[in-house]
Amino acid sequence: MLIILDYGSQYSHLIARRVRECGIYSEVLDGHVSLDKVLEKKPTAIILSGGPSSVYEKDAPKCDKAILELGVPVLGVCYGMQMIADFSGAIVKHYSKREYGRTEISIDDFSDLFFGIDTKTTVWMSHGDSVEALPAGYVKLAHSENTPFVSIANKEKKIYGVQFHPEVSHSTMGMQIIRNFLFEICKLQKDWDMKDFIKQEIEDIRKVVGKEKVLLGLSGGVDSMTAAVLLHEAIGDQLICMFIDQGFMRKNEAEQIVATVNNHFNIHLIHVDAKERFFKAVKGVTDPEEKRKKIGNEFVRVFETEVAKVAKDVKFLAQGTLYPDIIESATTGVSKNAVKIKTHHNVGGLPDDIEFKIVEPFKKLFKDEVRRVGLELGMPEKIVFRHPFPGPGLAIRIIGEIDPERVRVLQEADDIVMDEIKKAGLYREVWQSFAVLLPIKTVGVMGDKRTYSHTIAVRAVSSQDAMTANWTHLPYDVLENISSRIINEIPEINRVVYDITSKPPSTIEWE
């Protein structure tokens, strides 16, 4: 296992994903963990991530210096490299010529880390500090116009540093540099693939669950659907799935979930039609947080009632939790991304008096790995590559009050957006695309008649993990088709606008 020590870079998880893409299992640990915790993992290599701090600040986070003496290869990325230089006695200084963004670097040493890389290559830089002089025992591997030491190495100890971010796709040969570190320098063997993962996970599930029954809440998203198929593969009829239809799904989506799980995979499904309860719960609610809370609470109540009906038979509750959800800070015990922007809800809470043991088959996986598991298990691409969908569903895409009629109008608009994005061959490229129903009415003219109707906002974003997102530059003809179809096919709408804000400063969903 390769360990990534995280010093707060927004790219630390991306490093873990890139390493795994190379066939090496990797985990992210908080940069403050003790040496013992690192040793417990028996790492075959260590990567020190980037971060916003400066090594000369009083409280700058640092790893135990002994990490450089373990005999385990180390790669420091950005702040990680500065930490290595600092530990090795070099001077790290704030530089007046700070580098940010795409930067051309020149390679001075092609023998290992930069093996097979062009003499000049573009990388993604983001630093204000620089190493001033080589630490003792180190050689220079690369430089740039403004930075004399873009990459350094102590080859004897197998300690390497890069001032840039090889994990970011803007670093054109970044993957090659990561592969060189893993295979040329660390001499690691590829041993992480989804076939092996599935085999191992099935064995583990059988061992843990024995002859007991397992309950899994289905949301229709790829994580819980894939968990259902994997668990079914492992324990067959011992798996019971529960799908609570809140009435806020996309057009025909509830029917599709039922058909896929029940008919296609032959999995035991409890389908709870709770539409009326949910519409009642959100009646008259316009505040986004209140809406989310009402839906979340209602979900818990319905879940409680339904679970109670089967609880005496069921000992385990399965969840499609992913690795990014469980990565916690060693110092605070809470996820670093835990600042509350919106109240999220997925499966909902559990009644106090029912105790389940939890099964989380994907707690070590990233989303793209779950998708690969899904494909290996023979799931249809339509489900495996489905865009993420929020727990409260269309309810948080109807700004203002929700009622069945508004849901129907939004379902129609959303369906047109989906359809046109798919027809244009953009569905897999776009992270999420959807329609939002706005509560304002505006004036229009149709067939010589004045209209006064609602507006649909179309949103499409590109993202790696939803933490940040760019609005997608959809081709004008796709936007044109979406707009004219919505106006022509939905009488309640007379205006369509396109959302051109990125996250931050906006969020992906409107509520």
Rule CB under 6 A: which residues touch ligand XMP?
Answer: 341-342, 344-346, 388, 390-392, 432, 466, 503, 507-509
**E-strand spans in 166-293?**
213-218, 239-245, 268-273
Give Cα 460 to chain centroid, integer Å: 17
Q: Are 235 and 192 in contact (CB under 8 A)?
A: no
Annotated catalytic residue 78: yes
**Cα Dmax for the chain:** 82
CA distance linking residue 493 with residue 381, whole number of Å? 32
Least CB distance from residue 299 to ligand XMP, whole Å?
10
Which residue's CB is nearer to ligand XMP, number 48 or number 436? 436
Q: Which CB atom, from 341 or from 445, has the smaller least distance to ligand XMP? A: 341
Closest to ligand XMP by CB, 74 vs 244, is 244
CB of 413 to ligand XMP, least distance (A): 17
**Closest distance between ligand XMP and the C-beta of residue 390, in Å?**
3
Cα 74 to Cα 136: distance, rounded to the nearest angstrom: 17
Determine whether 167 is an active site residue.
yes
CB of 457 to ligand XMP, least distance (A): 14
Least CB distance to ligand XMP at residue 396 (A): 7
Closer by beta carbon to ligand XMP, 135 or else 361: 361
Burial of 54 (0-12, 13-18, 19+ CB in 10 A): middle
Spatial neighbors of 422 by CB under 8 A, at least 6 apart, are none
Rounded Cα gap, residues 267 and 218, in angstroms: 12
> CA–CA separation, 267 vs 277, rounded Å?
26
Strand partners, 269: 241
Of 22, 78, 186, 241, which one is the catalytic site residue? 78
Of the pair 13, 345, the CB lying nearest ligand XMP is at 345
- CA-wise closest residue to 439 among 476, 401, 480, 474: 401
- Assess whether 40 carries a catalytic annotation: no
Q: What share of the chain is helix, strand, coil (3-state, %, to 5)?
A: 35, 25, 40
Could you tell me the smallest distance in angstroms from the CB atom of residue 509 to ligand XMP?
3
- Cβ-based nearer residue to ligand XMP, 14 or 182: 14
Query: Can you tell me the distance from the alpha carbon of 118 to that of 110, in angstroms, rounded to the nearest whole number?
Result: 9
Q: How far is the CB of 73 from ligand XMP (least distance, A)?
A: 36
Q: Are 161 and 143 in contact (CB under 8 A)?
A: no
In order of 145, 169, 198, 425, 497, the CA distances from 474 in angstroms are: 36, 21, 37, 11, 13
Which residue lies nearer to ligand XMP by CB, 247 or 392? Answer: 392
Enter the tokens of residue 19.
Answer: 């390493």
Q: Which of 13, 63, 167, 345 is catalytic?
A: 167
Residues belonging to the active site? 78, 165, 167
